Chain A
Amino acid sequence: MILKLKLVMFPLIAIVAGVLAGCESVEAWERGTLAKPEMAIVSDSLEAALNDHIYFSKEASNGGHSATGGGCGCN
């Protein structure tokens, strides 16, 4: 029974540890790569603005779609 539990727990712990290792916070001054245009989910700025407008008007949701601007929340 204990052996079975160990067999189940070991891979489970390994998976959880692996997933948590992928959690990495990006500091404000480290966002240079994220701010590059090619990192945008939608690279066409006109299309992105159109999508934003649709989300904003239909779902009242806005923001969180891009790292451009440095995340200062001032624009």
Chain B
Amino acid sequence: MAMSCSTLLFAAEVGESALDLSLPLIVNQAQNAETVSLSDHQGKIIYLDFWASWCPPCLVSMPIMNEMRNRLQSQGLPFEVIAVNVDSDVEDGMDFLLDKPVDFIVLTDPQGETPARYKIKGMPTSFLISAAGVIEMKHEGFKQSDAAMIEKEILRLSELSQ
């Protein structure tokens, strides 16, 4: 498949405009899967997270980010979490979500095209994207103690965009 010039030049580093992605929701994998794009949430601060069910730190991050997302949204912050599950077997990701459901958007990419475009080196890797669509933070791995730092950065971006 031919890659566009912007995809080839994209290094997924802080300061770059986030590359748009469009993937099906994990729950609607079977047929007529509804797709969600980053651009659908333009104007919001987005926490884009690449995760897999076989990656323990990824699983640690899911409930923490869910709680943070719900709390910040209830405070009126224009914030959304978009998680991309990269399990080659979609069922594995769905099994985890059935056990520990989350309220944010979970997309599926079993072919691994988007993590390749985002030059992922380890799992999980997350990107904090500003309301203007610029990557403001790239975070590899996840520990419970990282949540405070991520939230601080989200609040900083929120203040900047006001």
**B58 in contact with A70 (CB, 8 Å):** yes
| Neighbouring B residues of A36 by C-beta, 8 Å | 54
Q: What's the least CB distance linking A27 to chain B, in Å?
A: 7
In the complex formed, the residue of B with least CB distance to A67 is B54
* Interface presence of B50 (CB below 8 A): yes
Q: What's the least CB distance linking A21 to chain B, in Å?
A: 21
Q: How far is the CA of A28 from the CA of B115 in the complex (A)?
A: 9
Interface of chain A residues 17 through 53 with chain B (CB within 8 A) = 27-33, 35-36
Q: Give the top 9 A-B pairs by smallest Cβ distance, nearest first.
A: A74-B141, A70-B123, A70-B55, A72-B122, A72-B141, A29-B86, A35-B54, A29-B115, A29-B112
Interface of chain B residues 116 through 158 with chain A (CB within 8 A) = 116, 120-125, 140-143
A interface SS class: loop
Residues of B within 8 A of A (CB): 50, 52-58, 86-89, 92, 112, 115-116, 120-125, 140-143
**B142 in contact with A74 (CB, 8 Å):** yes
In the complex formed, the residue of B with least CB distance to A74 is B141
Q: How far is the CA of A75 from the CA of B86 in the complex (A)?
A: 20
Q: How far is the CA of A61 from the CA of B120 in the complex (A)?
A: 27
**A27 in contact with B120 (CB, 8 Å):** yes
Q: What's the least CB distance linking A18 to chain B, in Å?
A: 27
Q: What's the least CB distance linking A24 to chain B, in Å?
A: 14
**A74 in contact with B140 (CB, 8 Å):** yes
Q: What's the least CB distance linking B17 to chain A, in Å?
A: 22
Q: How far is the CA of A31 from the CA of B125 in the complex (A)?
A: 14
Q: How far is the CA of A56 from the CA of B123 in the complex (A)?
A: 25
**B121 in contact with A70 (CB, 8 Å):** no
